[in-house]
Structure 1
């Protein structure tokens, strides 16, 4: 039997399957379907003609627009119907036609979207993706499986991210870009194939990073990507010089971390 809070507003033409949990002040509009294993936290709005299914939890105050399908089974060729989950954080907006799939057992069994994310029309989050907080995905952005996107990254309209790719915090991906390789924190990538075009200086400034710090990060960027060695050796060589700059250290840690993908660069598109 479903658990529906007394203050929830359920349109008579919505379908709430047995087992769903509907929180306080939740609004579910006409022609919506809420699955048996779905949890809608307090103040969630599901406007109309949307489907929330699977083992899915939608965080407080999130909003789902018409024709979105949230929590659908993964599109992985290895999908075999195993139990997996989707968790969407608080204050997220999923606009028209957004699709977010649950995870796969082989990929960790969960897809996660952080708090205060904005997913614009027809964007797609595939199985086992992990998204941080404050991310903006513009219209028609496509994330393949197992992608990780860190806090406050912005993905321009129509860009596509290769499976297992990583996009660092505060990175900016230009519209229609093909993201085949990892993008460093604060990086700005454009084109097909995507090329690292520099730093997201505007985003850094808007987030409150001081101009002096931005100049330090720019200097480190040049040493990493224009030095005589390869990117990883250049990054390792300057680590001690930038120990007091957390933004540079974040980039260096990202470069040093294990990954299934190469690194995007300003030259060949990867390294």
Structure 2
């Protein structure tokens, strides 16, 4: 049996690995699945069709898997899926998806989700992200791997944020943010590339130089977006060691739906 505090209420239909720890006064609903090694603190509510992976740490007062805040939601059995080794701090709210989109809100692995963060319906959060206190993701937002979202930053619905981007403190994000960029402000402005983050992830000097060149083509030469995309694509041959980075940028620009922040 899982280690369940006597004051916790766990529905007998819930599926908990025997190594799961459930804290005092926590509620776990009938459609919840929690894998090995996950620890849930006191006064947490986990409900809905929620699947939680291995070795997560969920702190006190979280609301996990609640009905979303979309007025069209009629109680359909949509899902919240959380991966492995995530840290979810106090008062975080994570909602299930809607049938109008993916019907699932999905969070990857190794994320650091700080207090009062809200992740709305149908969001897709990659892995290794950091969401600082009071970060707010509206519905249908997509965050790539290694994204950092500063405290008190709000992200508009349907916005996509590319991998390795950093969003500064108290920013208002209403357009797509290309990979590797450093942005902040209200109105939002692109300040440069996330050079510190890339170095911490052992990007070589050649790869960082290629990212700088992509930034220059997008933001410093007065090009149209289409012209910048063509020039960026050509970097793959000139800098083969950064071909994966160039491909990532190209795919993101091709799939941007709200226009990129420029």
How many Å apart are 1:249 and its aligned residue? 2.6
Give the Cα separation in 2 of the matches to 1:163 and 1:172. Answer: 18
- Mean alpha-carbon deviation: is it higher for 74-83 or for 217-226? 217-226
Corresponding position of 1:232:
226
Corresponding position of 1:157:
151
List per-residue Cα deviations over 1:110-158 (Å, max 9, x = no partner).
Answer: 0000011111000000000001111110000000000000101010101
User: Is there any run of 5+ residues in structure 2 with no aligned partner, and where?
Assistant: none
Residue 109 and residue 42 in structure 1: after superposition, are their counterparts in 2 closer, same or farther (change >3 A)?
same
How many Å apart are 1:220 and its aligned residue? 2.4
Give the Cα separation in 2 of the matches to 1:167 and 1:210. Answer: 23
1:201 aligns with 2:199: no
Aligned with 2:89 (options 92, 95, 100): 95
Give the Cα separation in 2 of the matches to 1:30 and 1:220. Answer: 51
Corresponding position of 2:246:
248
Aligned with 2:259 (options 246, 249, 262): 262
Corresponding position of 1:115:
109
Corresponding position of 1:19:
13
User: Is there any run of 5+ residues in structure 1 with no aligned partner, and where?
Assistant: 1-5, 266-271
TM-score normalised to structure 1 length: 0.92
Give the Cα separation in 2 of the matches to 1:139 and 1:124. Answer: 10
SS in structure 2 of the partner of residue 105 of structure 1: coil
Structure 1 stretches of 4+ with a deviation exceeding 6 A read none
How many Å apart are 1:241 and its aligned residue? 3.3
Corresponding position of 1:129:
123
TM-score normalised to structure 2 length: 0.95
Aligned with 1:36 (options 27, 30, 45): 30
How many Å apart are 1:227 and its aligned residue? 2.6
Corresponding position of 2:184:
190
How many Å apart are 1:229 and its aligned residue? 2.8
SS in structure 2 of the partner of residue 197 of structure 1: strand
Residue 212 and residue 238 in structure 1: after superposition, are their counterparts in 2 closer, same or farther (change >3 A)?
closer
How many Å apart are 1:203 and its aligned residue? 0.5
How many Å apart are 1:240 and its aligned residue? 2.3
Give the Cα separation in 2 of the matches to 1:218 and 1:119. Answer: 29
SS in structure 1 of the partner of residue 191 of structure 2: strand
Q: CA RMSD in A?
A: 1.2
How many Å apart are 1:217 and its aligned residue? 1.7
How many Å apart are 1:196 and its aligned residue? 1.1
List per-residue Cα deviations over 1:161-184 (Å, max 9, x = no partner).
Answer: 000000111110001001111111
List per-residue Cα deviations over 1:81-103 (Å, max 9, x = no partner).
Answer: 11100000000111000000000
